[in-house]
Amino acid sequence: MRIEVLLDLKTRLGESPVWDVEQQRLWWVDSLDGRLFACNAQGGAIKSWDVRQKIGSFALRQNGEGAVVALQNGVHLLDFASGELTLLHHPEADRPFNRLNDGKVDRQGRFLFGSMDMREEEPSGALYRLDADLSLHVLKKDIIVSNAPCWSPSGETFYFADTWTGEICAWDYNTATGDLSGERVFCHVDRSEGGAADGATVDSEGYLWNALVYAGKLVRYTPEGKVDRIIEMPVKKVTSVMFGGENLDVLYVTSMAQPPLPRFPEDNQLRGSLFAIYDLGVTGVAERRFAG
C-alpha cells in the first residue's frame, strides 16, 4: 500500500468525491469555497465550476451535461456549459443556520442527501431523497450533521451517520421505492482521539470505509460492523473516500485545510490535499449517475 498526494489544492473543505466510470473522471467539491472540481485518474485535466454558495454534495446527471447540486440554499440543477443554476427545492428556507451536506446516488439512480446545522449543535437537519421525476421526499429528521450515505453492493442496505452521535447506522433499503426501514446501529465510532464519522463508501466485498475526521484515520468495517483495518493518513482532517481509477482499485481521499469552526484543531502543510491510495488489494463498486 502507498499513499500519494494526487493534488495539493488546499481545499478549505474538500468533500464528496465521486468516480464517474463513464467519463473516467474523479469529481469532488470544496464545500466552503463553493466549487465543484473534476480531474482524470492521475490528477490532470482539472476543471472547476463556481456555484457561488456552500456546496455539500452533488449527483452527476444521466446525460453527463450537468449535475444536481446540494447547496446552502437548496437543491439546484447545474448546467456545465453555462454554469447556470436552476432551483428545484429549498426545503429548509426557514432554517438560516442550516445547509445541505453529504449525499450520494443509490443503485437505481435516486439522489439521497442530508442537511446540517452549520454550528454543529442543533438537530435541525434532515435526510432527503430526490427521485428521477425531481420530486423531493423527507426520510429522516432531527439530524445535527448528515454524513456517510452509502449502500451495500446489492443496494439493499443503506448506511448513514449523524456525525457527532458516535454511531454509523444501517437501514433496510427498498430498492423499488427508495424507502427506509429497520434502523439499527451498524457500528460505534472510536472517538477517543477526537475523531468523528465523516464520508464513507462501500467496497465490492461489502466492507464499509469511513473517514474518521480529526483523527486522521480511515477505518474499514466488516459487513457486521467490526473494525477490519485502519489506515493512518498524513493529515488529521480527512473528510471522505471513494474508489476509482480504471479498475476501481484506487482509494481517493479528500481533506480540509480550514476547520469549519474555531473549536476544531489545525493541521499540517498537507491539509486540504486530495490523496490517492494504491495497492490496497480491494476494489470499489461503480457509482450510478442521477436518473433525472
Catalytic residues: 198
Residue 210, marked binder: no
Residue 174, marked binder: no
- 37/53 Cα distance (integer angstroms): 15
Q: Is residue 163 helix, strand or coil?
A: helix
- 258/101 Cα distance (integer angstroms): 17
Residue 198, marked binder: yes
- 214/9 Cα distance (integer angstroms): 19
Of 17, 11, 13, residue with least CA distance to 243: 17
Provide the edge-to-edge strand list for the sheet that holds 2-7. 2-7, 274-278, 250-255, 238-244
DSSP 164: G
Residue 99, marked binder: yes
- 202/209 Cα distance (integer angstroms): 6
DSSP 248: S
Residue 147, marked binder: yes
DSSP 290: B
CB–CB of 73/104 below 8 Å? no
Query: Residues at the annotated binding site for substrate?
Result: 99, 101
Query: Residues at the annotated binding site?
Result: 15, 99, 101, 147, 198
Query: Residues at the annotated binding site for a divalent metal cation?
Result: 15, 147, 198
